[in-house]
Amino acid sequence: MVLLFGAAGYVGRAIAGALREAGLDVAAPTRADLDLTSRDALSAWLGGIPKPEFAINAVGFTGRPNIDGTEVEKWHTLRANTVVPGVLAEVLGAAGIRWGHVSSGCIYHGSRPDGSGFIESDEPEFAVFDPRAGWYARTKWMAEKLLAGAPGVLIWRLRIPFDSHDNERNYLTKLMRYDRLLEVRNSISQLGEFAAAAVASMHERIPDGIYNATNPGSILTSEVAAALARHGICRKQFEYFRDGEEFLSAPGRVFRASCILDPSKLAACGIRMAEVHESLERTLREWKRA
Ligand SMILES: NC(=O)c1ccc[n+]([C@@H]2O[C@H](COP(=O)([O-])OP(=O)(O)OC[C@H]3O[C@@H](n4cnc5c(N)ncnc54)[C@H](OP(=O)(O)O)[C@@H]3O)[C@@H](O)[C@H]2O)c1
C-alpha cells in the first residue's frame, strides 16, 4: 500500500491515477482525516494502519487564482509547502518509511551560464539570494533544505504542469485565458509523465535525493501558443508584454521565475520523459475540452 497526501489536488490526482494504473493500493487521508502539521497526529494515525511501502507528498499551496495569491496567504503557503514536508520528514523518517516529495523548479531563474539547464547540484541562488524571488519559491526552497540528505527521501522537481484536460490548473488552459502573454523560455512537465516518473522511481528504488522531473528541453511561450493554434484549440491573436518590467507593472503581481532544468539525472536512472515539443504535440492531439 502507498500513502498519498494531497490526493485531491491537481498533482495528487494525477499521481493517484498513476499509482492505481500500476496496480497499487492507495491510502489517501484528506485534510479532514489528519492534521499534517502535527507530528503527534501523524504518528498516531500511522500507528493505526499497516506499514505502507512508500508515501508521497503532493500537499502544497500554489496560490489562487495564481501564484500572486501566495503573497497574500503567506501562513497557509508556509504551512502547506514547508511545515507539512518538515513534519513528514520527521515522522516518516522515524517510522522508516521511504517517501517522495513534490518540489518545484521555481527555485531557479534562467539557465546555467552556458545556456544549459540547471542540474540538481546547482545551488538555487534565485530562491536564496534574489530579492525578486516570491514567497512561494522561498517556501519550496526551505522544504528542500529541510529534506536535504535525509535517508529514504526522493524529491521530484515539477515545473509548470500541463495535461490534455482543459481545466483551470492546467498551464495550457491558463495560457489560453490570458490576452497578453509574457515571452519566456521554460522547462515544463507533462503531468501524466511526471506522475508516471514518480511512480517508476518508487518502483525502481532509484537512489535518494533530488531529481528534476521536467520534459527534456525547453520551450518559449510563443511556441506553446503556436501549437495551440495549429491544433485548432485556441486561435486567439495574443499580444505580448514588451518585457518582464511591463508585465510586473500590474499591482500585486509577483516576479515569475522562468528556468531551464536538466532532467538527465532521472533519465540516467532509466526514467525518461518525452522531449518537450513531442510531449506537447501528443498532449494537444489528445485534448479534451471542458
Ligand atoms: N500546480 C503547479 O503549477 C505546481 C508546479 C510545481 C510544483 N507544484 C507542487 O505540487 C504540489 C501540489 O500542487 P497542486 O497544484 O496539486 O496544488 P492543489 O491542487 O492546491 O492541491 C494541493 C493539495 O494539498 C492539500 N493541502 C493544502 N494544504 C494542506 C494542509 N495544510 N494540510 C493537508 N493538506 C493540505 C490540499 O487539500 P484541500 O483539498 O483540503 O485544500 C490539496 O489536496 C505542491 O507542493 C506544489 O508546490 C505545483
Best residue among 158, 172, 210 to mutate for probing ligand 1's pocket (most ligand atoms within 8 Å of CB) is 158
Mean pLDDT within 246-262? 92
Percent of the chain with pLDDT over 90: 96
Q: Which band of pLDDT confidence, cut at 50, 70 and 90, is reported for residue 58?
A: very high
Pocket-testing residue among 15, 42, 61, 147, ligand 1, by greatest number of atoms within 8 A of Cβ? 61
CATH number, domain of 16, equals 3.40.50.720
Of 75 and 65, more confident? 75
Closest atom of ligand 1 to 31 CA is 33
Residue 234 domain flag: yes
182 C-alpha vs ligand 1 centroid, how far in Å? 25
Domain of 159, in residue numbers? 2-285
Going by alpha carbons, the residue nearest to atom 36 of ligand 1 is 6
Q: Which atom of ligand 1 is nearest to the CA of 5?
A: 34
Give the Å distance between the CA of 63 and the centre of ligand 1: 9
Q: Tell me, yes or no, if the pTM score tops 0.95.
A: yes
Contacts 24+ apart (CB under 8 A), 284-288: 284/164, 284/172, 284/227, 284/228, 284/230, 284/231, 284/233, 285/231, 286/164, 287/164, 287/166, 287/231, 287/233, 288/164, 288/165, 288/166
Q: Please check whether residue 140 lies inside any domain of the structure.
A: yes
User: How many domains are contained in the chain?
Assistant: 1
Q: How far is the CA of 58 from the centre of ligand 1 (A)?
A: 6
Quick check: is 290 in a domain? no
Ligand 1, residues at Cβ distance < 6 Å = 6, 8-12, 31, 36-37, 58-62, 79-81, 84, 102, 104, 140, 158-159, 161, 169
What's the whole-number mean pLDDT along residues 37-56? 97
pLDDT of residue 290: 87
pLDDT digits (tens, 9 = 90+) for 200-218: 999 999 999 999 999 999 9
155 found inside a domain: yes
- pLDDT tens-digit readout, 10-33: 999 999 999 999 999 999 999 999
Most ligand 1 atoms within 8 A of CB, residue of 37, 59, 173, 186 to mutate: 59
In a domain, 41, yes or no: yes
pLDDT band at 221 (very low <50, low <70, confident <90, very high): very high
Assess if residue 210 is contained within a domain: yes
Specify the pLDDT at position 250: 87
Task: Identify the pLDDT of residue 196.
Answer: 98
pLDDT tens for each residue of 124-178: 999 999 999 999 999 999 999 999 989 999 999 999 999 999 999 999 999 999 9
